[in-house]
């Protein structure tokens, strides 16, 4: 009986070590519609927070371990998650199929400027973005973006500094794993390159485990303007949240 228990324990430990072993996996991404390879598919290992892209033949390689989850996203195709299995490691190169989405254009209302020919009048019709960023003494970061140069904008900045940041605490204080991923995302050059070309926030939402509304609210609570939120690419949003997190840690330390 003792020998059986020792054998079982040995097999259990061996299986656990194999499952934790990081290796290189290979695959090819193809379209279910055309069966042709898809180039430049964004692929992220959600567990190791590592990213890569498929080449012109749809082929990719990346580090992973058993039970890791890979996230595949490509413009015009439905994003999918695929788990790394023993069979994948056993058979090597596997085919990942992505399904094409029906593209639907949303109605866009364009407000045409009615020019009068008088420069002073016409200039007044052009919308001007008035975003002002405030520097906070004692913090090494660039500061806070208040939105506009008004008493309300300044009050918003000062209020975020001197009042308890409950919303940010709920995010940063209760999601240490997500914040660890945030730092890992910033350190991975491939993920940064992927995010720099994206504006859909999908990869950020998947990695940080928040929806689009909460993600925009996080950036807003970090005192970035609506204009910034609407125009920034995903890498800029990542850096904004990271900067806010670092400021939050400084302020939390000072309160303690």
For residue range 142-200, list pLDDT tens digits in order: 554 545 554 444 444 444 444 434 566 666 666 667 777 888 888 899 999 999 999 99
The closest alpha carbon to 53, from 187, 196, 178, belongs to: 196
Percentage of the residues of the chain whose pLDDT score is greater than 70: 61
Q: Which pair of tokens denotes residue 63?
A: 């580090």
Phi, psi of 52 (to 5 degrees): -160, 180
Mean pLDDT of all residues belonging to the chain: 75
Classify domain 15-98 at the CATH class level. mainly beta
| Separation between Cα atoms, residue 241 and residue 71, nearest integer Å | 21
**DSSP per-residue string spanning 160-200:** HHHS--HHHIIIIIT-HHHHHHHHHHHH-HHHHHHHHT--S
| Strand partners of residue 42 | 53, 73
Sorted by where each begins, the domain ranges of the chain are 15-98, 128-255
| Separation between Cα atoms, residue 203 and residue 44, nearest integer Å | 8
Higher-scoring residue by pLDDT: 112, 206: 206
């Amino acid at each position: 009986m003792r020998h059986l228990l020792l054998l079982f324990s040995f097999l259990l430990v061996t299986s656990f070590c194999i499952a934790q072993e990081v290796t290189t996996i290979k695959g090819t991404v193809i379209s279910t519609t055309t069966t042709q390879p898809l180039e430049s598919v964004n692929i992220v290992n959600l567990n190791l927070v590592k990213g890569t892209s498929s080449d012109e033949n749809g082929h990719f390689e990346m580090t992973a371990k058993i039970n890791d989850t890979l996230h595949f996203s490509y413009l015009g195709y439905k994003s999918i998650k695929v788990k790394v299995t023993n069979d994948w490691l056993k058979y090597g190169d596997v085919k990942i199929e992505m399904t094409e989405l029906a593209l639907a254009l949303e109605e866009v209302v364009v407000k045409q400027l009615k020019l009068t020919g008088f420069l002073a009048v016409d200039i007044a019709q052009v919308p001007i973005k008035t975003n002002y960023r405030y520097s906070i003494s004692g913090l090494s970061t660039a500061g806070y973006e208040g939105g506009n140069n008004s008493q309300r904008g300044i009050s918003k900045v000062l209020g975020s500094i001197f009042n308890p940041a409950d919303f940010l605490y709920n995010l940063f204080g209760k999601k240490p794993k997500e914040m660890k991923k945030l730092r890992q995302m910033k350190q991975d050059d491939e993920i940064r390159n992927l995010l720099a070309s994206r504006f859909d926030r999908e990869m950020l939402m998947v990695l940080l485990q928040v929806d689009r509304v909460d993600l925009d609210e996080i950036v807003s609570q970090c005192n970035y303007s609506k204009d910034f939120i609407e125009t920034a690419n995903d890498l800029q949003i990542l850096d904004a949240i990271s900067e806010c997190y670092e400021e939050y840690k400084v302020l939390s330390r000072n309160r303690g």
